[in-house]
Structure 1
Amino acid sequence: MAARVIVHAGFHKTGSTTIQRFLRNNRKELSPRVQLLLPFRLGKGAARLAMRHSRFRTPQLLDEFAAEMCETLAPIDPARDLVLSHENLAGRMPGRDGQKGYDCAPELMARLAVILRAHFGPDADIRFCFLTRAPDSWLKSLWLHNLRVSRLQQDLHEFRAEITPLDTTPETLALIEQVIAPASLHTVALEQCVATRLGPAQLLIDQLDLPQEVRTKLAPEPAHNIGPALELAPELLALNRSALDDETLTARKAALLERPAIESPTHVRHA
């Protein structure tokens, strides 16, 4: 029987860290039936090159991404199922160093689909999975994340004007679906995941042919990499606009983020 390959490549701030922690923490149940490629093995290789390509858009970087992906797959058994997960495979997070959106994701996914088909064979069942998010909530989450991890000095209005509107995601996904064929595309909105037992990871698990007794043993994972509360944004922005050196800035942000957050119970915040 041909292998089934599940590719989770994004998007950023749609529960990616939660999914990857889920896969890692349920490895005991999953590993006898499926191989896992997670950020530990992808982050400094193929995923890093995907980000570089999304920033500089050169044929050489795309080829380097492909070569690194082939090297990463070399020890993977082509006869067994695989789950591969890293949000940076879709490119750099919007808002970082001038990154405007996911316009490079289709060409990265197209090259990845070719590589996977070559490794696993023409009959492999390859499925690409993406989580999406309501545009306004997504934009705020990206902005808050960038405020926390970088010296971003734009307010939300300025940030919104700099990046490609996230409500263009359906068009991006339609293009991805076209270029990865005959691989299939599977998507779900993050907001819909709260009603499922396994949260954001449910999309990936639903693609696997796992026995019911294994599914019932899979432990849900709480949300990880939760962004700062919106109420802290003015202070984070002021710190980023200050003349503080990097070390002092990092320490001041850490102290600020230790404050308890006050949020609406219906507010969804994820990696």
Structure 2
Amino acid sequence: MAGHSKWANIKHRKGAQDKKRSKIFTKVLKEITVAIKENNNNGDPETNPALRNALLNARGVNMPKENIERAIKKATGADADNYEYMSFEGYGPNGIAFFIECMTNNTNRTVASVRSIFNKHKGSLSTSGSVEFLFETNGVFTVNKDGLTWDLEELQLELIEAGAVSFGDEEDIFTIYTEFNQFGTMASKLEALKIEVQRAEIQRIPLETKELNIEDAKEILKLIDAFEDDEDVQDIFHDLELTDELIAHIEG
């Protein structure tokens, strides 16, 4: 789990500083829109937990307050965009499994785009169910350790009682994993403990990872980048092992 979380954290740190910032904002704005639409146009985060979580993620990527307010106003209006959730499964080079989650207002465009990205990067789009079993679904909460007043060992004991199944501790980031059905319980627990969460999300964690040499792994990174650049793609999950050498390449 730690390796997969590390990949997400690397993306977040780099993404907040480069040209992908606008794409990160677009993805979060979609989260806000869907959270409101799927809860009877409820734009009140006090009574809409999904929206409350989307706003937490918006703050986690430093989205300006006016952008958030504009998104809520638009999503509760009659001219709001209607997004549909779609998922895709496939394989990249050297048998690396991919599970791609999208939100789209044009399903034909999204299907064609995902298939094209796989094909251009020596991968292949597979049928539903061909990859999903290689992952488990977990709630994942990312906490910035700066300003965290809790002793980590004491905090872990407290969170295990609330449904935490494992933890990740990497440099300035502390990660909490729960079972899928404990996501809401953990969110409430962290809020009660007044622990500021940087990002809360559902992730598909690979049951096993595959290690590649650095050159082959770079091909996978190119495929990941191509999916990241697609406007309809929300999340990308894979089973590539993040070796120290590969992490150094990503962060370099």
TM-score, length of structure 1 as denominator length: 0.27
Q: Which has the higher contact order (CA 8 A, sep 6+)?
A: 1
Is the strand fraction higher in 1 or 2? 2
Is the helix fraction higher in 1 or 2? 1
TM-score, length of structure 2 as denominator length: 0.29
